[in-house]
Structure 1
């Protein structure tokens, strides 16, 4: 975040809050005029800071009522097995998050499916067949207490105005 100034961080915070804002709305929120605002957003898109735009969907209203956190261990950790496992995970739509971790599990996956029967099928037809999987421990999410997609960006404070000394 070293290259981002106060205006960039304000723009990112605003886009995370509502990515459908007009350039004029973003510019006003960041204290910029429209052209510099548009240029900054385009630069952040080109550099990969902004990876894309999306819509938040209520998973339960689209039939994905069951959320499971699955801890996965691999038999071996050689480069080829890890690469094949991670490629298979990336290609599996019900796995909406996967994290290589320290501790008891090699990976923690977030899986969304309609119900427990579908999760059981998913385990047998998909997870147990993933390259190198030796152990899976599943935790069914009873209730989401917090599921935030926004990054907690700290907006730098504006530099204090310099006072002139009157004599």
Structure 2
């Protein structure tokens, strides 16, 4: 975070907590004029410190109340397999995150589904047809301990 001063860090923290804060509110919180605050916020966006501002939805209210984590092992590891897998998983709307990892498996997939009664369908329709999938292990979340955590600044 070189190049960020205390005001920039405070602005990032405030925006991360609530992206709907007005420039006037931000200015009051950091002790700058609204114009100076607006310029800083625009710079933080322009320089890529802030990637997006969006609403956090209640997953249960939109029919996505169950989180599953799926370890995926591929049948072999080669650049073209990784690329095909990544392209395919990016198109699956149920998949929230997918991380290539080092260890006993190749990918860790985080997905949201309506409930466990629909899990088998999701697995057969989305995960197993992904390119190169050899083996999966699934873990269903029974509670959110720290969902949507803010990044430390």
TM-score normalised by the chain length of structure 2:
0.94
Q: Partners in 2 of 1:146 and 1:19 — Cα distance?
A: 19
In the TM superposition, what whole-angstrom CA distance separates every residue of 1:18-63 from its partner, at most 9, and x where no partner exists?
1111101111212221112111111111122111101111111222
Task: Tell me the number of residue pairs that the alignment of Structure 1 and Structure 2 aligns.
Answer: 153
Range 20-29 or range 98-107, more displaced: 98-107
- Match of 2:68? 68
Q: Partners in 2 of 1:149 and 1:54 — Cα distance?
A: 15
Which structure 2 residue ranges, 5 or more long, are not aligned?
none
1:9-158 maps to which residues of 2 (within 5 A)?
9-153=9-153
TM-score normalised by the chain length of structure 1:
0.87
Runs of 4+ in 1 over 4 A off after TM superposition: none
In the TM superposition, what whole-angstrom CA distance separates every residue of 1:36-92 from its partner, at most 9, and x where no partner exists?
211111111112211110111111122212110111111222111111111111111
Partner SS, residue 73 of structure 1: strand
Which structure 1 residue ranges, 5 or more long, are not aligned?
154-167
Q: Partners in 2 of 1:90 and 1:62 — Cα distance?
A: 21
Q: Partners in 2 of 1:66 and 1:138 — Cα distance?
A: 13
CA-based RMSD of the aligned residues comes to: 1.2
